Amino acid sequence: MANIDIFPDVERFLSESKSLFIAGEWVKPIAGGSFTVENPANRQVIATVSSAEKEDVDRAVQAARYALEGVWGRVQPSERTRLMLRLADLVEEDAHHLGQIISLENGKPYTNAYSGEVVITANILRYFAGWPSKIEGSTIPISPRSGAQMLNYTVKEPVGVCAMIVPWNFPLSMCAWKLGPALATGCTAVLKPAEQTPLSSLRLAELIQRAGFPGGVVNVVTGFGEGAGAPLAAHPDVDKIAFTGSTAVGRLIAQAAVGNMKKVSLELGGKSPNIILPDADIIRAAKGAADGIFYNQGQVCTAASRLYVHDSVLEQTLDELRKHASAHVIGPGLDPSTTMGPLVSSDQYEIVRGYISKAIDEGAELICGGKTPDYLSDGYFMEPTVFLDKQEKACIAREEIFGPVVTVMSWSDIDELVYRANNTPFGLAAGVWTNNLQQAHRIAAQLKAGSVWVNCWNVVDPASPFGGYKQSGWGREMGKNVIDAYTETKSVFIDLS
Ligand code: NAI
Ligand code: MG
- Tell me what the mean pLDDT of segment 348-362 comes to: 98
> Smallest Cα–Cα separation from 273: which of 92, 12, 472, 90?
472
Among the bound ligands, the one closest to the CA of 191: 1
Q: Are 156 and 136 in contact (CB under 8 A)?
A: yes
Number of other CB atoms surrounding residue 246 within 10 Å:
16
Q: Cβ(244) to ligand 1 under 6 A?
A: yes
**Same CATH fold, 273-465 and 8-268+472-492?**
no
| Percent share of the chain, pLDDT over 90 | 99
Report the C-alpha gap between 309 and 274 in whole angstroms: 8
- Mean pLDDT across the stretch 112-133? 98
- Taking residues 190-218, report their average pLDDT: 98
With pLDDT > 70 as the criterion, what percentage of the chain qualifies?
99
Question: Measuring from atom 43 of ligand 1, which residue has the nearest CA?
Answer: 245
Query: According to the model, what pLDDT value does residue 4 have?
Result: 72
- State the distance from the centre of ligand 1 to the C-alpha of 491, rounded, in angstroms: 38
Q: Tens of pLDDT along 420-448? A: 999 999 999 999 999 999 999 999 999 99
Name the helix (H) or strand (E) containing 23.
none
The top-level CATH class assigned to 273-465 is alpha beta
Q: Is the CB of 223 under 6 A from ligand 1?
A: no
Fold of 8-268+472-492: Aldehyde Dehydrogenase; Chain A, domain 1 (3.40.605)
**Closest alpha carbon to 211 in 92, 85, 297, 379:** 85
Task: Tell me if residue 187 is catalytic.
Answer: no
Considering every ligand atom, which ligand is closest to the CA of 257?
1
Spell out the domain ranges in the chain: 8-268+472-492, 273-465
Is 1 a residue whose pLDDT tops 50?
Answer: no
Question: pLDDT tens for residues 153-188?
Answer: 999 999 999 999 999 999 999 999 999 999 999 999
Q: Catalytic annotation on 267?
A: yes
Looking at residues 258-286, what average pLDDT do you find?
98
**Model pLDDT, residue 3:** 52
